[in-house]
Structures are given as C-alpha cells and as structure tokens.
Structure 1
C-alpha cells in the first residue's frame, strides 16, 4: 500500500473558534509617530498618551494595543525604522506643514511597503493640504484631524486593518461590511472613532450575553465584528458594493462627494439607488449638514441624520443597534411593526417555532436572521442560512423547519470531535466525548479524545469507503473528582500510611463519591442503559514513556438490573475500585520498577458503552482485536514496519490477556504458513461475554471479572456470530470448508474476512495504523472491535497508545562472541543494547514442567521475584510458553508485578507446547515500554537454544518444585541487536 500523506488528508473542520483565530491576519502592532517636540507634547499630555491608548483598547476587549514609538524628525525616524519593523507611520503636521510632507516622501522611497497616515492639528489646517493634495497623496494614504481624543488613533489603526484584511476575512468567515462614504476629513475623523467604538461596544455586549470563562474566546470573537470600510468617491463605493454585495450589512453615506472627478450633490442618492437595485433591504443611512435632504433620503427608503446634530452619537448608536443586527432580534409583522423580541440566540431559536408565518416570511426575505446571527459570532450558522432564499421553500412552515434543522445540525457540528460538558441529552452519541467531572482526562482519556477529534477531521469515508469507523459513546470523569473523593473522605492516611491494599479497599467501599458527581452519574445512567465499561485513565497511563498497560482496573457492568439504585451502586462501586487500583500491589510494583512516586498519580475514569449485541443472555462484539504498526517478530517476507494484528471472537479481555488469538499482518492478510493441523491446535476455544442473566454479584469480592463469563465456542455458533469469523475442518476430506452443517472442529481463522474480503478489515487496519503512527510520531498500538449493526460491520476504535520502539545501537558480529560461553541465543529477540550487570537467573526446569500446573509455577516465580527485589537486583527469567497469559494452558499466567525485576525475559518452546509469542497483550506492551529484553526460542530451532547444563552448574540460591533461582559468579553479558532481532547471552 502506498504511504498516506497525513498532511493532505487531515483537513481539520473549522469551528467558529478556529475561524476566529485566522481572522485579521494583518494587525497594527507597532506605530511610529513622527511629530515635533511641541506637537508630540500636545498629543502625549505629559506622558499619559500610551496609557490612554491602552485604556481605549482594554475597554473594548482589544488586548493587543499597538505600541507607539515617538520621534521628532526624519533622522530619528530613519534610525527607528532601521532597528524595528512598523506596520503604520503617523506623521503629525502642525505649524510646519512642509517638512512633514517631505519627510513622508523620503520614507516612502526607502520603505514603500509601510503605510503612512497624516494627522493635522485642526480643521483649519485642512485647507492647506487640499491645495497640495496631489503632492501629499504620493506618500500619504489618508489624512485625519486631531480632535483632542485618543480615539482617533484607534480609528486610524482599525481603518488600516479593516482595509487590508477585508478580502481575506470576507472570504474566510463571510465577515460583514459597513461601508462609509465620506470625503470630508473633518467628518470621517469624527465618524470613524464613533463607529468603531459603537461597533466594538455592541459586539462586546452581545458576547457578554452568554457568560463564558473562556477569556481568549471572547477576545477572538471580537475579530468577527463587521469591517468598517471608508471610501471617499462614488466609484470607490460602487466597487466595494459590487465586490462585497453579499457581505454589505449597512451603508452610511454623505449626500455630496466626488463622482467622475467632480463634486456631485446627488452622488449619495445615486449610490443608495445602486444598492437598492440588488437588495432592497440593506439598511442605508444618509447624512448631511443640510436638513432638507431628509426628503430625498425618505424617497430612497434610507435613514437620515444631520451631521451637525448634537445627538449624532446617539443617532449612529440607534442605527447600529436597530438596523445592523446588534440589538435584540425584533420579530416584526408583515408591515414591519414589532410583535416580539429575542435577546439571545437560544431565545430566538425557541420563539422561531411560534412566531406567525408572516413574521418569518418578513425576516427571511430580508436575510435579517443571518445578519443578526453573524453579529453574535455564529459564523457557520449565519453562512449556512445565507445560502438560501425564502423563495426556495414552498411555504413559511417549510422555511421554519429548515431553519430549525440548520440550528440543530450546526450545534451537533460544533460538538463533533470535541470534549463537551455533561448534558444528559447529549451523552448518547459517539461523535464527541462528554466530561462528567472537572480536571484532566488522564492518559486513556486523552487518547480517546484524540481519536474522536481525528475521526472528525480526516475523511475516513474516502479512505475506507466500505467500513464505518467510530468510537464508542464515551464520558470521562476528570481527575479533579478523584482529588475531591480523597479529600472529602479524608483518605490520605489510609492511602499513604497504610500500605495494606485490603484496608484501602475497605475504606473506599464505605467512602462516598462527591454528591454533585453522584447526581450527574444518576442522570447519565437514566440515559445509558446498555452494558458499561468503567475504565481507568491515570495521568501516567498510555503516556509516551510509561504506558502502564493493564496495570489499573477495568470493570464491565451489565447495567440492566431492574432496580435503578442497584445500577447506580454498581457504577459507583466500579468507579471507587478503579480509584483504588492505583494503590494495588501490581501498581506499586510497577511504580517501583520505573522509579516514579505513586503519590504523583491521579485517576480519571472513563465510562464507555460496551460495543456489542445481546445473544441469548450474553453481550459481546463479533470481533475484538489489537493491532500494532510495528511487528517485533515478522516472518516470511513481512517487514517489521508492516505491523500485525491479533483478533478473537468476543470481548477484548481475551485478546489483551494474551490468550490464543488469530494473528496476521494487515499488509499481507492472506499469508498463512501454518498447516491445517496447526491452525486447529491454535484456534480459539472459548470467548468472553458479559453475562446479562447474572443479577447478583459483588465487585469488591469478585473483582474485574464479576460480570464476565467464559463461554465455549459452540455457544457463539448458536448465537450466529461464527458465520464470518470461523471455518470448519472437514476431516472426511481433510479440508477447510465454510459449511457449518459439516461435522468437524470449528477453526476461528477469520478467513471469510481476511481471505475472501467480506469486509475490508485488513486494509482499514493498515490505513489507520499508518495515519495514527504519523500523527503520534511513533509506532502505535490500537485496540478495536467490530460489531455488526443492522447487518453491516462497524469498526470501533477503543484505545490508542504509543508503542515504544528503541532505536538500534548494537550490531552483534559473530566473531565478537565467544561461542564456548554462550548461555542462550535467540533469533527472535527484542531489545537493544548491552547489559553487563545481571548475575541472577530464574528458570522453569523443563524436566519438571507440567502444563497443568502453570498457576502453581506462577506463584513460585512471584516468590523468586520478591526475594530478588528485596536485594535490589535484576534477573534473567526463562520459562515455557507465553509469560503473562490469562490462559494457563498456553504459558505461565503471571502478572507484570510478579516479575517486575526481570530485565530479560525468555519464552521457550517445548515438545507439544508450541511457542506463540505474547504480541498484542497488555503484558507484552509493558515489556516493550520498559525496554526489557524479550526473547523467543522455539522448540528444535537450529539457531536458537538455551544451555540448561550450564544453568545446572551454578550456585542455587533457592529452588522450588518447578523452578530454580541460580546465581553466576560473574555478571552475564546480554547482547541485543534490535535491527537483526538477534540476542545472545554469554557467561
């Protein structure tokens, strides 16, 4: 398969917040103010200027106020420009009106890309610059009048930002535009500060309608405010209107300004008519110092204000609030008369369902709904509604339903791939993750959140068209609730002073979860009625360095008891037991092995709907599996980078427990080297499912397996779940068949799926492993299951974690090894480096091994490990079959804590006890993550062996019925070549 370029397929769906961050790419951060000493003093007012500017910005929630550098002449300006980048230069023209223009032209020649604006002292000075306008325009973009208020500097900076960002922001976020047409420097110097202040104040007021703790979100939302675009001629105005007609939400125009190069007293009227030609509903405001123009404004259905009015500020504020979507939404009848109002988006959504049809028609025709929503920073929602006209629908009711559906779809779209606060109405979905309590999500929780977000931002339907990929319905209780639980129940002394685990369990049994959490948990359980998995998610769990795989507890609950309080109690008990598992002996041994402080660990808890279907009183998925993007034990022409997968029927506990599974490479799923007889011997014999008929159990007494039961494979056949996962050995004809009416052993080999492509499991795994390993920057392991829903397979991602693959740094040369002193050699080895400090070896004597006594052997190994741990030593461990398996018939069923001090682990094959390495199990994952040497030595392999005669000659430290602990006089040398997968131990 050709490698997928993740950068090309990862198209993050932009939320409103994402869009906010991309808006306004050009910002005025540094301003160079050129003014002589007197003018500079006039502006700065004894050093208060910068404070006032910052105050203006802060008041409007604009935290990035530009910094001013003030210089007195051209020489100082050039020095400043040579040392710092400026976005804007403001040149002050006072009594001397010639020098500022000359300075401006000099700077323009040297720095043509820096924008320059001029500020004059008073209106009287404008007459001079009108006479030399052509000369001034060569370097000065626009002129403003200093009116004694620092707001003019805000207007100058925002004028430039809006002008430059106009095209990008309208294209990216459909940002609205307020067009101001005014050629009088005096008036636009007064209008722009007023307009910007009002627009930002109104935007701020709208954002504050819905309280939020997200201060950065509030700041970003300010970027979606309408652009205020200033032009001074009829032609410029028409160009803006024609290019951005879909974004214009208001036009404020003078009546008289240049048209065709000459002053035209009808320019404003003609501009309004041009606007009305394509949209009769765009709010327009004509302003003039001649009151008689009121009549002409009314003829074009435009509002009107008098420029010299003492109420100018209030008049503009009323226009913005009433006409541009900033105030409450006023529902109007067919005649435009108010009949109701909405103060928030949620209130608008409710009232939309009940307002008269004529009101809905009135607003739909005018696109006022979209404009009002855009003012509230609902970008995606506003853009969606803008695409449709009222004429698209048969009637008002159809319009109403459409708008309601757009609202609902927009809300769901916002949530997809995100972590949202608990809401009982939203927990029953797998498009996002719900947070039931505050605090970090922990390791597994982070992994699930990553998967959820990734699925929503990669178009997997295109990559895997025939298989739906999703995560189970997931809710996370944050680690803060763990702290609250410990603190409210005063459990510190029990946890950190009393190390007895049974005492901790007793204390947790009687303790109570925080009341708010208990209340939310009950709300959750009233909605979620299918079986639940209550999983650990410690802060350290599934981290890049120490994955802690399988160290903490997971509880599967039937969640079907007729007594609701019993269901709630089971869930609470499971949560408390997951909390307690931090302090289990297994966990403490792991912390000691990695030299971490257990006091630093905190626990989040994942509540997850178990994927599966009910079959005759048992609940399980058709397929569970683990896949890794790196294969430590490849065979045939398979390369390590091709990865591998192991699959089984039933719950995933079977797979991660290291029991008999079907193994294949997703890159070569049809490659099968085993004989029919070997396939029969290695086939799955039983499966795990949740026993839905068992009503009475005690999680504290029965542990993680309280509600899980092992069933023989014939039960799965009766359930109909072997149809696509198994085949039949026809012993009469010595062949494999898929006819289940044939007598013979059932072989769980997934042939219909892997050999005959019933659905694309192998290609899906190959694609997912590829893109996830790219995304995480390391090889990965995923846990998954496949469930048939409505007759179709659905692929569920259950967990993801990094797979530690150490780089190669040892190259074993044959002539560097003393062949006379080789204790063991393995051609299937994992690990890197050279160890020279191990003297102790613990091994199961092959002469005494009894495959029916593996649980007794596990207890012996545990005792050896404890004795060596007390001495602070590491050791080499050798034994038959799989270490860490849950199936005592396939190996030694130790837990990781039972062998935590082993630095090298060897799995040995014996006659009639074939070696099948523990790939895919939690045990194996911990071995790889802790860089423990891990060797496989099959029975009768010409190139791999163990010299038991040498072991028998060493000092015996301790010997039990089946196992022995011996000690060499000098340290062994362990050579591990990870690249060649060859390992040698010499003495």
Structure 2
C-alpha cells in the first residue's frame, strides 16, 4: 500500500525554527509634530506600552522608537542609525511630513514607510491630493497601542513570507480588505488572537528556548487591498494558506466592485473544496453568497463583530484544541489538547466522526496552525481518496505522530513535564541548574545521534541513549541547604556517618509525583549515576570517584520511591567521602565548588529470573596505544564483556577488539590464549535485593556470577563459543558439553549484529565533534531469536591522557644519547623513575638455556616487587613464549616489575615481533612499554656496549643487572609506534 511505503521512508526533518522570522524591525523612525506624537504616545509612554505588549505575548526584541519633527532632525537620525521602518503622522497643519517621506524614499528605496493618522476632516482632505504610492500601508489611528504591534508584525510577516514558507511550510492567513478604517481595527484583534494561539502551541516545545523559537512558526497574516493582489497572493502560496478572510466590496480592475470578494471566494472554493473561508460584509444580503461558496459569514455591523470573527477563525482555521464532532448532531466526541492526546485517541474516535474530519483535511490544518509542519505536510498528502481504509488511516496518523515525537525528543534536553513525559520522551531535566559532566555528555551524544542519519540505517539495530532524567545541580543545592548538611559534610567525620546523615535527610516533596511519572514510563531497573560539575570535564578525569547505584523495578511504587530516594541521597553523600575530598585536593579543586547533578536512567539489560544484565557492555577508546598486526593507533580499541559494565571498570578480563579488524582478535587467535584470557565471571543486578541498607559500596546489590550461570539463563546464544575437549578445538556457537568461552565470535566475525560498524561510527563522530580522543561507554541488548538488538550509548568523555601528549619528535634525539630506540613500540607516555636494567647476555647465548634464564629473572623480579621498584628488561626472542626455542618462557608474575620489555633480535636469532601477545592484558592495563629491536638490520638501536662497560649490581651465568646513578628517561609515542630510552645526562 502506497502509504506504508511512504511511512517507512518517512524521516521527519526537524523544523529549524531558528531560521524563521530572521528579518526583524528593531528601529522605528516616527516623523510627527510634537502634539501628534504626544497624542500617539498618550503622555509619552509608547515604548513602555509596546514593551509590555511584547512581553504579554512572549515576543522578544521590542523595537525602539525615535521621534523627529523637522527635516533636519530626520536626516541627522537617518545618518546615524539604521532604521527598519518609518511611520509618518501627517498633522492637520500644513507640515511637511509627506515631503520628508518622499525625500527619505528617494534615498532609501527599500525602507518601508507607513502613514498613521487620525482621520479628521482636515487630514482626509489633504490626503486626497497626496500621492500615497510610496507608502506600504495607510493606517487609521484610533488610540490603541495594539495597532503599532500589528503594523510592525504585518511588515515583518511581509518581509519573511517567501523565505519562511519555502523553508518549512509556514502557513498564511489572507485578509482581503481595502477599508483603512476597518483593517486598522481588525488587524490588532487578528494578531492578538494568532499570537496568543502561538503561545498555546508553543507548549509542544520541550524547553524555554524552544518555546520562544517555536512561536516563529505561527501563521503569517498578509493584507491584500484589491482583487488582483489577493488573487496573486493566493495563487503563489495556495498550498500554504490556512484560511481566507475577505470583504465583499473592494477594487477589481481599478474600480470598486461590490461583488469582488464573492467572486474571489468562489474561485478559491472551486480550487480547494475544504479551505476555511470567511466573508465579512456590512451588507446582510451577502449572507446568501457566503452559503453558496461554503464560507462563514461575519456581519460588520454587529456590535460584537470582533468576537464573531475570532470565533469563526478559532472554529475553522484549526486553532485552539481539536474537537472531534459527530457529523450529524455536531456533538463533541473527543477533545484533543496536544499531540500526545491525538496519539492516544486516534484509535478510539468513532468511525463516522473520524472520516468526517480527515475527509476535510481538518487534522493536517490543526497541525499546521500549531507549527507541527512535518506531520501536517505528510498527512496532507495522505488523502481519503488515496487510501480509502479507515484503520490504515488511523495507523498512519499514529505512526507519523510517534515518529515525529521521537525525532523531536531526540537531542533535546526537555523540561520534565508530568503530562508529557512518556515512552517517546528521551531526555528530560528537573530543575534549572547544570546537568553536570555525565549529563552534558549524554545530551551531546543524543544530539549527535540525531544529526547523523547513518545511525538510523541499520536493519536489525537501533542506536539510542537510555531514557534519562537529570536532577540538575540546583536540586542538590536545595537539598544541602534545607537539610543544613554542609557543616557535617565538610567536616572530617567518617564516610559512614556522612552517608547516614544524608539518608536521614529529605528530598524536596515536589519530586515525588515526578518520580512516579518516571516509574510509569521506565519499567526497568533504574541506574542512579553521579554527574558532578567536575566529572568528565575536559581537562581532569573525575570518572569513578563518585558512586553509581542500581535499583530493581518493583510493582510497589512506594517501595521503589524509597529505594530511589535513598540512592539519590547516597550519590549526593559520595561527594563528601574521604576519597573524594583527597581527590579534590590532588586536583587542586575546592570541594565547595563541586555540585552534583544526578542521572536517573533505565538500566540496559534483560531479566533472567531474579537477575538482570545486558548481553554486552563495553568501553570504546578512539585511540589505541597498543596497536598490533594491521591495527592503526587512530582506529581505536574496544573492551567487550558480558553483563554489567562494572566488570570492565573493575579491571576484569575483557575481549579486546579493534572495530576496524573485528575478525582479528588476539585473545581468540590461539586456543591456549583463549582458554586462559577470556572472561569467566560477570556482574548482574540482584532483583531480590530491596536495598534496605544502602551501604558505601555502590555494588552491594550486584551479583558476581560465573559464565555457567549465564549459560543456564540461556543468555549466551551468538555471544559464546564452545571448547570441545575431545577434538581440542573451539567452535563458534553454543554446543552441548564443553566449556563456554565469551568470544562474541558470531557478532564480530559473522556479523549477526552490526556491532563493529556502529562502534566505528560512534568513535568517528564522537572524536570528530569533541575534537579530541574520546572514551565511550555502551551496552547492548541482543535478542537471539530475532537476531536484532539495541545499542545504548551510556556516556562519552574526553580521554584524559594522563601520560602527556608527546609533541616531541623522538627521531630527532641524537643516537649517542640513547640506550634503546624502537620503531616498533607499543605504549604511550613518559617514564622517568627507572634506574635499573636487567639484560640477557648475548655472548654465547643459546636458546637451550631459556628455561634457566626464566628462573633467574623470576628471583630478581621478586626483589624489585618487595622494594616497590621497576626495571627495563632486555632479551632475545619472544618473552613469554611457551616454545622455549622461540624465547624465554616467563609468566607475567615473573616479570611484573618491568616497566619496559624489549625483544632484541640477534644476527643468528631473529624473531618476528610478538608484540607481547602473552601478556597483552597486563601490558595495556598497566601501561607497560613493549619494544621490538633488530639492530643488526638497522631496525632500531640497542647500545649494549654501554651496559657491558658498567659494573653489575649482580650477575649470573646468563643475565646481568646494572644500575644507573640517575634515572633513565623513557619516551613512547603510541600513535607513531616509536619508543626511546635516553641515557641519564
């Protein structure tokens, strides 16, 4: 069916309200004699009145008025200030107002001029002989300041009309009227009504800033004073006319025609059967013509003419609430206040009423009047004629609204409103303070996902952030002050005392209803994360200093409220724990400046009985200082694990993958490594733990389980491989018997889920827009039955490179100053606290002694560990190889005090760089450098003579230990794979 196709391709472009109404009137020159100007200003308060008028209508930028009397004053002002509008008030004397106006027009051809005058007998006579063609409009001053607002808005609408209609499809109301007296009184009422309506529909906006911008999408009012002008405007903008209000009598072909309006409305009706039309006339006999062209009739002679007109517009132009009526009795069957109401009611409206309204385009007109252009535009094309299927029509309206609301909610920090927060809401804030570091990062990611359409293009994956509500920092301030907690919090009492004092304190009462609304929408466990002002700030890492709690979802809302409140208070308390205070001191921050926002977020995962955890958690870094094989540093690196992400943060064994080479995973490249270095435990949330006692440990309700438990939950499909002990092989997938290894092989190598592609995009755009390397936390819910899933971005922060950014060119250091240089080095940063070198003697070296060498090194390493010191380790071949012919078979504990490990090839003993495969997890997590040098082939430099010439601290048959008086300087550039060890100066 045509429209289902359309819906699938439907991507609602966000309306850029900021691009509307860009041309404004800021400065107005008023040419009038002092008496007329005084009369206009009603004792000199025009600016104040206009200002109040603007404020009442939530309009910004009220214009400034400059009043001049004489020609000289006018020119002096014009030469000094850029004016946007000139209003001339011709007095009844023979003043030269019109002459001044003509001179202005000659020099400033594009400056709009308007005549504003009280139509006394003398002025009318004078104006009969004036050429008024240089003026945009002539208005009649009846002592009402509203008219000035209307004049300014009318001219602004005219200036912006073409651009705004093309840009987003803004609507226009066409007013056809040539009586100056009449349009001078109708326009203020019309504008007041439309601007008030735009305040109403601005409630569809998600925050204050958006509200102001949305008002720019209000319908424009265009005044035509002749048949030809009206016809031309209608033909040009026929698709964007909200409605037409026309007089009956006005000029046609240069002559006043008593039936011009009736002719115009009949023509419009023949082109558009459903457009709302209003005929207003002072001749009651014209009512019959209104009936002929299905227009509303408004009698100009009525005492309440303005009220009649307003009611006709409100009823027929789509303003106000939408009322579904019974087509026969006209009784109300449904009352729709906003978009969410329409979405909820669309399936329950009686068929005959629904058909009556969609058949007449009422729904799209209502959406247009509320500046919801994308949906209005779309639904206008879906006509009853093209579809002829009520249920399909309901479905289409529903899906269009849902899609629009999702898109509108994404990337915007909305104010939390109970009546509007629902499952399509994404990110809202309670309070007006800051969102804190994590909160800002999340808002940034949400916005990034919205702007880059590639994230939408995966067939079996969606990329989103979890539903999030942030309690801004002002709630923290209020909590601290009303409970008078600062004195205790800043004192030296222990953490437990602080936690208990905070748990006894009270959160603001108004939050209770907000939390209940949140529970209604997010029917999953909730994570309560800290988001402090300093956390994730660009220049200092505060990650992991404060607490993150998780609470299960309960049917008992009050019990859940208690847990949530306790968790929030416990996060607040963590600002003042000993570790936080010490960290503050270490980073030269003042604890009083630290303010805490709190993030409430759905926990990503699936429920398995009383446990809850995601299929995959991970941390991606957009730069990799340990690239191996074909990997490049800038391709980044990702750590993946089963279960909750705390496992990764706590340093558990994860799967290390480069998203550009997802099939080349070091840990699964050899069976022995796979069995030794893949994940065996994981974390899950314990849904039975009701958090009766919140403890300092934010993981008190997490379970540490073995992979066997996940297998029993049936959670490992496509995530694990099976080790077959009989055939001694590892098979991708789940098979009976045999140990399950967390390899994510089906996802990484067989592309069951596009994890690698999503990670590439996330790294690319995250780093691109933060303009620095980033670290990104994420989690994935994967459904093995449908082979589809959701990728949740949890956090983004700059990678704070504690190890300094090496701007220095390491190739430029003279060779005579070096002990070692490698062109194939892993690791990054500067180390300057190592004085010792342990190296394998090359004289008479034989691989047959490798096992004995390993024993010697182990003994010395233990001594270094006991003293808390480090050394540089140099030897031939592969360190840690289980094949003693390839290298010295040490295990990590035997060499764990080394800060740099060097594989140095000999002429008769060359080994390809192993890149420390055997210790990879330890190298990367501890930041140990790994150099490969084949000096005899001019691949790097090893100045062994210097070491041989030094006295040994100790020496065995195979190895020597020497100590420099001052520390060596070790520098590694992980991006360029270059490393050097400089001799002490």
Question: In which range does the TM-score fall when normalised by the shorter chain?
Answer: 0.7 to 0.9
Change (3 A) 1:140 1:368: same
Give the equivalent residue in structure 2 for 1:801.
Answer: 797
In 2, the alpha carbon distance for the partners of 1:112 and 1:309 equals 41
**Preserved CA contact (<8 Å) 1:915 1:938:** no
2:773 to 773, 776, 779: 779
Change (3 A) 1:390 1:600: same
Structure 1 position 600 matched with structure 2 position 593: yes
The alignment status of 1:191 with 2:186, answered yes or no, reads yes
How far did 1:491 drift? Answer: 3.4
Match of 2:265 among 269, 272, 294: 272
> 1:268 Cα deviation (Å)?
1.6
Partner residue, 1:175: 170
In the alignment, the residues of structure 1 paired with residue 491 and residue 223 of structure 2 have an alpha-carbon distance, to the nearest angstrom, of 72
State the shift of 1:770 in Å: 0.5
Distance in 1 between the 2:323 and 2:737 partners? Answer: 77
Given candidates 906, 929, 932, the residue that maps to 1:936 is: 929
SS in 1 for 2:638: strand
Moved more, 761-770 or 519-528: 519-528
Tell me if 1:143 matches 2:143. Answer: no
Alignment partner, residue 110 of structure 1: 107
Contact kept in structure 2, 1:542 and 1:549, CA below 8 Å:
yes
Alignment of 1:95-244 (within 5 A): 100=97, 103-120=100-117, 122=119, 124=121, 125-126=123-124, 129=127, 133=131, 136-137=132-133, 139-201=134-196, 203=198, 206=200, 219-244=212-237
Give the CA deviation at 1:326.
4.4
Cα–Cα, structure 1 residues 121 and 825, in superposed 2: closer, same or farther, change >3 Å?
A: same
- The match for 1:626 is 619
CA distance in 2 between partners of 1:691 and 1:51 (Å) = 61
Which 10-residue stretch deviates more, 25-34 or 463-472? 463-472
Counterpart contact for 1:342–1:351, Cα < 8 Å = no
**1:547-586 to 2 correspondence within 5 Å?**
547-556=541-550, 571=564, 573-586=566-579
Q: Which moved more, 1:391-400 or 1:43-52?
A: 391-400
**1:463-495: CA deviation from partner (whole Å, max 9, x where unpaired):** 545533233444444444544554455433332
Which residues of 2 match residues 511-526 of structure 1 at below 5 A? 517=511
Pick from 798, 808, 811 the counterpart of residue 809 of structure 2: 811
Which one is further off, 26-35 or 398-407? Answer: 398-407
Query: For 1:523 and 1:290, how far apart are their aligned partners in 2?
Result: 56
Residue 959 of structure 2 corresponds to none
CA–CA separation in structure 1 for the residues paired with 2:520 and 2:435: 23
Deviation string, structure 1 residues 426-484 (Cα, Å, up to 9, x no partner): 98858613557775433223322333343344323555455332334444444445445
Distance change (3 Å), C-alpha of 1:920 and 1:127? farther
The Cα offsets for residues 14-40 of structure 1, whole Å up to 9 and x where unpaired, read as 66xx55433322221122233456655
313-322 or 509-518, which deviates more? 509-518
Which SS does the other structure have where 1:809 is aligned? coil
Question: Deviation at 1:686?
Answer: 0.8
User: 1:638 maps to which residue?
Assistant: 631
Q: Is residue 2:69 matched to residue 1:65?
A: no
1:450 correspondence with 2:449: no
SS at match of 1:583: coil
Structure 1 CA distance, aligned partners of 2:308 and 2:737? Answer: 91
Q: What SS is found at the alignment partner of 2:767?
A: helix
CA RMSD in angstroms comes to 5.2
For 2:127 and 2:33, how far apart are their aligned partners in 1?
18
8 A Cα contact 1:824 1:985, kept in partner: no
Q: Structure 1 residues 129, 523: closer, same or farther in 2, change over 3 A? A: closer
Matched, 1:830 2:828: yes
Seen in structure 2, the aligned counterparts of structure 1 residues 667 and 258 have a Cα distance that, compared at 3 Å, is: same
**What is the deviation of 1:163?**
1.8
Question: Quick one: higher RCO (CA 8 Å, sep 6+), 1 or 2?
Answer: 1
Per-residue deviation, 1:67: 1.5
**Cα distance in 1, alignment partners of residues 432 and 864 from structure 2:** 45
Query: What's the CA shift for 1:688?
Result: 0.7
Query: In the alignment, is the contact (CA less than 8 A) between 1:685 and 1:712 conserved in 2?
Result: no
Distance 2:752 2:335 in 1: 55
Q: Distance in 2 between matches of 1:951 and 1:577?
A: 58
Q: In structure 2, do the counterparts of structure 1 residues 120 and 830 end up closer, same or farther at CA, with 3 Å as the change threshold?
A: same
Gaps of 5+ in 1: 1-10, 865-875, 883-888, 895-903, 925-933, 955-966
Alignment partner, residue 957 of structure 1: none
Shift of the 257–639 alpha-carbon distance from structure 1 to 2, 3 Å rule, reads: same
- Which shows bigger deviation, 234-243 or 470-479? 470-479
What is the CA-CA distance between 1:919 and the residue it aligns to? 8.5
Q: Quote the Cα distance in structure 2 between the aligned partners of 1:621 and 1:111.
A: 68
Question: Match of 1:28?
Answer: 25
Q: State the alpha-carbon separation in 1 of the partners of residues 205 and 724 from structure 2.
A: 68
**What CA distance in whole angstroms lies between the structure 1 residues aligned with 2:604 and 2:32?**
72
Which residue in 2 is equivalent to 1:927? none
Give the CA deviation at 1:234.
1.1
- Report the 3-state secondary structure (helix = DSSP H, G, I; strand = E; otherwise coil) of the residue aligned with 2:233: helix
Alpha-carbon shift at residue 617 of structure 1 (Å): 6.6
CA displacement at 1:132 relative to structure 2? 5.4
- Does the alignment pair 1:90 with 2:83? no
Measure the CA separation in 2 of the matches of 1:500 and 1:944.
53
Aligned length: 913
Distance in 1 between the 2:765 and 2:584 partners? 32
1:535, CA displacement in angstroms? Answer: 3.0
Deviations 1:663-718 (A, max 9, x none): 23222334567862663465215121327597699865693443444445555556
Deviation at 1:607, TM superposition (A): 4.0
Structure 1 partner of 2:531: 537
Indicate the larger mover: 716-725 or 647-656: 716-725
Cα deviation digits, residues 189-238 of structure 1 (max 9, x gap) = 3433343344435655x469x79996655544543433221112212212
Q: For residue 688 of structure 1, what is the aligned residue in structure 2?
A: 682
Write the distance in 1 (CA, Å) between the matches of 2:357 and 2:762: 47
User: Which shifted more, 328-337 or 794-803?
Assistant: 328-337
Which residue in the other structure is 1:931 paired with? none
- Paired residue for 1:898? none
Q: 8 Å contact 2:549–2:698 — kept in the other structure?
A: yes
Q: Which runs of 5 or more structure 2 residues have no equivalent in the other structure?
A: 1-9, 840-853, 874-878, 881-890, 904-913, 936-940, 954-962
- The Cα offsets for residues 262-318 of structure 1, whole Å up to 9 and x where unpaired, read as 332321221121122134454444344545545554554544555566544444344
Structure-2 separation of matches of 1:212 and 1:28: 25
How many Å separate the matches in 2 of 1:504 and 1:844?
A: 49
Q: Against the structure 1 CA distance between its residues 919 and 113, is the aligned structure 2 distance closer, same or farther, given a 3 Å change threshold?
A: farther
What TM-score results when the alignment is normalised by the length of structure 1?
0.77
Q: Distance in 2 between matches of 1:425 and 1:441?
A: 22
1:282-681 → structure 2 map (5 Å cutoff): 282-305=275-298, 307=300, 311-326=304-319, 332-334=325-327, 337=330, 342=335, 344-345=337-338, 358-376=352-370, 378-379=372-373, 382-391=376-385, 394=388, 411-419=405-413, 429=423, 432-433=426-427, 435=429, 439-461=433-455, 464-487=458-481, 489-508=483-502, 517=511, 530-556=524-550, 571=564, 573-613=566-606, 619-671=612-664, 676=670, 679-680=673-674
Contact 2:449 2:455 in 1 (8 A): no
Compared CA separation, residues 293 and 202, structure 1 to 2 (3 A)? same
